[in-house]
Amino acid sequence: MKANKLTPNFEVTNVKKTVEFYQNILGFHLVMAVPETQDGVDSSFDENKEYIYALVSKDNIELMFQRTDSFKEDIIFSKGIAIGATVSFYIEIEGIDSFYEEISNKKIESTPLKKAWYGMKEFYIQDNNGYILGIAEKTKS
């Protein structure tokens, strides 16, 4: 088997609000969205539509967001399991000091910025669905 990429698919309660969080807080942009009518693909949100799925990206990272009802229908292993995860999604960036300051100015709750024992400078936040996001940068030894 050859693995080409990993794109997490997050179960979310509201696709539009989740995309808004990732756009406004982390600088992602909307690639595509599927309305609940599932009659096409939109490249931007229509305020008169509800959405069941969206794909966002930033640089080399892609994330998918799927509304709970659709997620549970498509991914049967998730039935009976509460939204959220005991996993953190670790995003390696450049310019962590200024980004940490930006997050702090937006009043986003975070852990303190620190150097970890494994050589990364990092902090953690939660998105609007409760998913844990690790933000990290390699330190110069």
Instruction: Tell me what the mean pLDDT of segment 10-37 comes to.
Output: 97
**Tokens 């390696």 -> residue:** 92
CATH of the domain spanning 1-80, picked from 2.40.100.10, 2.60.40.350, 3.30.70.1400, 3.30.1900.10? 3.30.1900.10
CATH of the domain spanning 84-141, picked from 1.10.510.10, 3.40.50.300, 3.30.720.110, 1.20.1560.10? 3.30.720.110
Delimit the domains of the chain by residue range: 1-80, 84-141
CA–CA dist 26, 60 (Å, integer): 13
**What confidence score (pLDDT) does residue 140 get?**
80
**What confidence score (pLDDT) does residue 141 get?**
65
pTM over 0.95: no
**What confidence score (pLDDT) does residue 53 get?**
97
Cβ proximity of 109 and 125 under 8 Å = yes
45-93 confidence digits (pLDDT tens): 999 999 999 999 999 999 999 999 999 999 989 888 888 777 889 999 9
In this structure, what token pair is assigned to residue 121?
A: 């400078």
> How many of the other CB atoms lie within 10 Å of CB of 5?
7
> How many of the other CB atoms lie within 10 Å of CB of 139?
13
- Given a cut of 80, whether residue 121 has pLDDT beyond it is yes
CA–CA dist 93, 135 (Å, integer): 7
